[in-house]
Amino acid sequence: MATGNQSNLCSICNKPSAKYLCIGCKKCFCAKDFNEHEQQLSIKFDNEVVRSHNELLDQIRKLERSNSLSLDLFEQIEQWKNTTINKVEKAAEKAQHELTELIDKQRIAIIKQFESITREIRYRREEENFVDNDIDELKQKLEQFTQKDTTKTIIVTNNQID
């Protein structure tokens, strides 16, 4: 049976002479174990906090010393940017040129188709060689021509730059 108060027992040696309370871990200690506990906390502080702080400080100092290296990297990045911009501009010019050619080909094809209908209309008008069916047929050709979707879809198959 315990004769002393359990809360006054040292958390290390279990002696009833615990007079010190650590406000961090809320444990009671005798004078000897309390001093040892403080030493362990001091070692832990140095090993975990001060060491990490010093390592970060060293890294910051290395960054300050490596400023010339970072200037070289910035210059390389700027060169890469300019090279990339030039490639994109050339690719855009090439795409615009190809699109212009495609539009011109499409326009020429439409004009040829329309000229064919125009010749037929002129011929029938000059010769007065038409009947009701001819009028309906020509009207239908003109409607089909105007209803034709002359816009084309351009599909980008990759994002690569030649």
Domain hosting 33: range is 20-66+86-150
pLDDT digits (tens, 9 = 90+) for 93-140: 998 998 899 889 988 988 888 898 888 888 888 888 778 888 888 888
Burial bucket for residue 10 (CB in 10 Å: 0-12, 13-18, 19+):
buried
Q: Dihedral, CA atoms, 66, 67, 72, 74, nearest 10 degrees?
A: 120
pLDDT digits (tens, 9 = 90+) for 16-47: 989 999 999 999 999 999 999 999 999 999 99
pLDDT digits (tens, 9 = 90+) for 40-86: 999 999 999 999 999 999 988 887 777 767 788 889 999 999 999 99
The answer to whether residue 61 sits within a structural domain is yes
Q: Distance of CA 131 to CAs 26, 37, 115, 122, 138, Å?
A: 111, 115, 21, 15, 11
The answer to whether residue 72 sits within a structural domain is no
Encoded amino acid at 56, one letter: L
User: Number of folded domains in the chain?
Assistant: 1
Which residues are CB-contacts of 12 (< 8 A; sequence separation ≥ 6)? Answer: 29, 30, 33, 36, 37
9 token code pair: 């027992």
Encoded amino acid at 135, one letter: I
